[in-house]
Amino acid sequence: MRTLLLSFVIFALIITEAESGICPGFTEQCIGEQTCCLLKSGTYGCCPYANAVCCEDDFHCCPTATQCMSSGDCERTRNDIFKMMRLPMKLIRPLNK
């Protein structure tokens, strides 16, 4: 019973961290539903998309269910009518301390 309670508390803390926009390491936080993305500098920035995909260039991000393209666009990853839809990548805003 004690193990179950401890597991529940840990799970609740993880969910709260994800929902509050707290970045890994608990030192930085994004507002609203923004997503934390690691920047080249080793610090975190905030992507304006909720549950975003952080691009490999560590400078841009794309909406969920898309992938970062070398063309600078975000392309949907699902095979549906929106496959050809391209969205612009967004800049990751560095956090000000």
pLDDT in tens, 51-94: 999 999 998 999 988 889 888 888 887 665 555 455 666 777 77
pLDDT above 80 for 6: no
Number of domains in the chain: 1
pTM of the model: 0.63
Residue 36 pLDDT class (50, 70, 90 cuts): very high
Tally of residues, the chain: 97
Average pLDDT in the chain? 73
Residue 81: both structure tokens together: 């009518």
Query: Which residues constitute the domain of residue 54?
Result: 2-94
